[in-house]
């Protein structure tokens, strides 16, 4: 991974757009995303999709 790629990933992750994008894609396919608190380690995100 190049320095430019790391910078891009860092900048994108700070906008909060990654989760919004994932939610949009999952919901477009009839699925759901949920979050569970995992204090003090952060959060656990779970996605559910019907099998194809």
The DSSP string of 19-50 is HHHHHHHHHHTT-EEEEEE-TTS-EEEEEE--
Q: Convert the pLDDT of each residue in 1-51 to its tens digit.
A: 676 655 555 555 555 677 888 888 889 999 998 989 988 888 888 999 987
What pLDDT does residue 52 have? 62
Q: How far apart are CA 3 and CA 39, in angstroms?
A: 31
40 cis-preceded (ω within 30 degrees of 0): yes
Q: Are 31 and 49 in contact (CB under 8 A)?
A: yes
Please state the pTM of the whole predicted model: 0.57
What is the Cα Rg of the chain in Å? 14
* Boundaries of every domain in the chain: 19-52
């Amino acid at each position: 991974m190049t320095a430019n790629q790391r910078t891009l990933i860092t900048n994108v992750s700070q906008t909060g757009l990654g989760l919004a994008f994932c939610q949009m894609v999952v919901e477009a396919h009839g699925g759901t995303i949920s979050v569970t608190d995992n204090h003090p380690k952060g959060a656990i995100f779970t996605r559910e999709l019907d099998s194809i």
